[in-house]
Amino acid sequence: MAVFRYQAVNGQKAIVRGTVAADTPREARDELRAQGLRVRKLEPLRAAGVGVRLWQSRASRHAAAWAVTVQELAMLLRAGIPLLEALDTIVAQHRGGYRAALLQVREKVAAGSSLAESLAERPDVFDRISINLVEVGEHTGELDDVLRKLAEFKQRQLQLKDQVLNALAYPAFLVVFGTAATLFLMTYVMPPLLENLQETLPRLPWPTRIVKGCSDWLIQYGLFAAAGVAVALALAGLALRVPTIRRRWHRLLLRIPGLGPLILKQSLSRIAMVLAALLRSGMVLTQAFELAGGATRNLVLRDAIAACRQSVLEGKDVSAALAHSDVFPPMAVRIFSVGQESGNLEEMLEQLADDYQRQVATLSARFAALLEPVLIVFLALLVGFVLVATILPILEAGNVL
């Protein structure tokens, strides 16, 4: 469905402007005529096409924008502003593909659809958990309260993601910068320099010979090596689309020392946040488990969540099902057990999510703190060795002369 901008004349001969969502321009004109408008100008909203084409590369940006939108929408509804007016206010604050998606939602709501149904029309922008929570809020008549809880959940989810990315940003920069500098020296600086020095010196120093051998190999076979790496990565990506191989890879990730616990706790924090938000909105545990599986991309954890849901459907205890999965740590299993016994499962899950979030932030910072000096020393030795290999023949050539 596309969004069209129109200019028309109403029954009072006044010019009106606005937007309408329809599959084709003809349907848009028919809909406007049904509203008593005589269309003078109709054109597609250019941002809508852009948004549809580029949604995959802008998924994270849309997620951040949606988190802010939920918070603003909850605030406007709590202030007593009607839903359509609240959507108009929010639409005016955005541009591009995200604005087009909001316009489609606004038009669907104006046509009589519920907010959840309207959001479900754009699954590329609005996630399934948000849609289900909005649906719960509309059914219970507490949409503003549910949106407020959803906003808190989204902000915490983004905060958890940012903590990990910020911790790994500097090490990633060091790797990229150091690799680029080394390749530049060995492929552009060293070859012409060594070519002149070889005519002066009978024999190059051993560090220079090593660097020259690497440089010659990169010049001769570098493109083939890069192509081989690209093909290998492409084949690995295709292999990971096979569920069996992907499941084994995800299980291996969880067993890597240092990295495995970080991945596990980050995923469990998201799962606990999702479950707490869904249960607080009045959703039953089995349905909450079904949606919580989508909070992680790890197939091993998804399988464990699905097995727990099946155990609950069979009338078994949740904590026993979690322990049987052999994936969840004893801390998480104990929290579920205590939460069920006390009747405060939502609060206990929120505490678990907060605890794991703090642990993920600490582990990420610690991992980055350990990785940074190792990378700095390694890159310093690598670049230093190349510089020494460059300077030594120049000094020896000066002595010969």
Is residue 209 located within the same domain as residue 92? no
The predicted-structure confidence for 215-241, as pLDDT tens digits, reads as follows 889 888 888 998 999 999 999 999 998
Predicted local confidence at residue 49, as pLDDT: 38
- What is the pLDDT of the chain when averaged over all its residues? 81
Q: Residue 216: what residue type?
A: D
The predicted-structure confidence for 163-195, as pLDDT tens digits, reads as follows 677 777 778 888 888 888 888 888 887 788 777
**Residue 338 above 60 pLDDT?**
yes
Boundaries of domain holding 8: 2-44
Q: Is residue 52 part of a domain?
A: no
Is residue 40 located within the same domain as residue 65? no
Is residue 255 located within the same domain as residue 376? yes
pTM summary value: 0.65
Predicted local confidence at residue 230, as pLDDT: 93
Is residue 18 located within the same domain as residue 105? no
Q: Which of 136, 151, 166 is the last residue of a domain?
A: 151
Is residue 140 located within the same domain as residue 27? no
Q: Which two tokens stand for residue 223?
A: 């493109």
Q: Is residue 162 part of a domain?
A: yes
DSSP code of residue 187? I
Is residue 105 located within the same domain as residue 253? no
- Strand, helix or coil at 84? helix
Is residue 97 located within the same domain as residue 206? no
Q: Is residue 54 part of a domain?
A: no
Q: Pairing state of beta strands 2-9 and 38-44? A: antiparallel
- Strand, helix or coil at 195? helix
Q: Is residue 104 part of a domain?
A: yes
Residue 287, Cβ neighbours under 10 Å: how many?
Answer: 14
Is residue 225 located within the same domain as residue 280? yes
Is residue 95 located within the same domain as residue 165? no
Q: Is residue 51 part of a domain?
A: no
Q: Is residue 53 part of a domain?
A: no
Residues 6+ positions from 373 with CB-CB distance below 8 Å: none
Q: Which of 151, 178, 195 is the last residue of a domain?
A: 151
> Comparing C-alpha atoms, which of 71, 17, 73, 72 is closest to residue 45?
17
Q: Is residue 346 part of a domain?
A: yes
Q: How many structural domains are present in the chain?
A: 3
Q: Which of 124, 151, 178 is the last residue of a domain?
A: 151
The predicted-structure confidence for 87-106, as pLDDT tens digits, reads as follows 888 888 888 888 888 888 98
Q: Residue 208: what residue type?
A: T
Predicted local confidence at residue 50, as pLDDT: 38
Q: Are 312 and 318 in contact (CB under 8 A)?
A: yes
Q: Which two tokens stand for residue 230?
A: 């690209």
Determine the Cα–Cα distance for residues 17 and 335; give it in Å rounded to an integer.
Answer: 56
Neighbouring-strand partners of residue 7: 17, 41
Is residue 145 located within the same domain as residue 156? no
For residue 150, what pLDDT band results from cuts at 50, 70 and 90? confident
The predicted-structure confidence for 30-80, as pLDDT tens digits, reads as follows 877 877 888 888 877 544 333 433 334 456 677 778 888 888 888 888 888
Is residue 147 located within the same domain as residue 164? no
Burial label for 104, CB within 10 Å (0-12, 13-18, 19+), is buried
Q: Is residue 253 part of a domain?
A: yes
> Residue 302 maps to which CATH number?
1.20.81.30
Is residue 7 located within the same domain as residue 123? no
> Comparing C-alpha atoms, which of 186, 243, 201 is closest to residue 399?
201
Determine the Cα–Cα distance for residues 28 and 7; give it in Å rounded to an integer.
Answer: 12
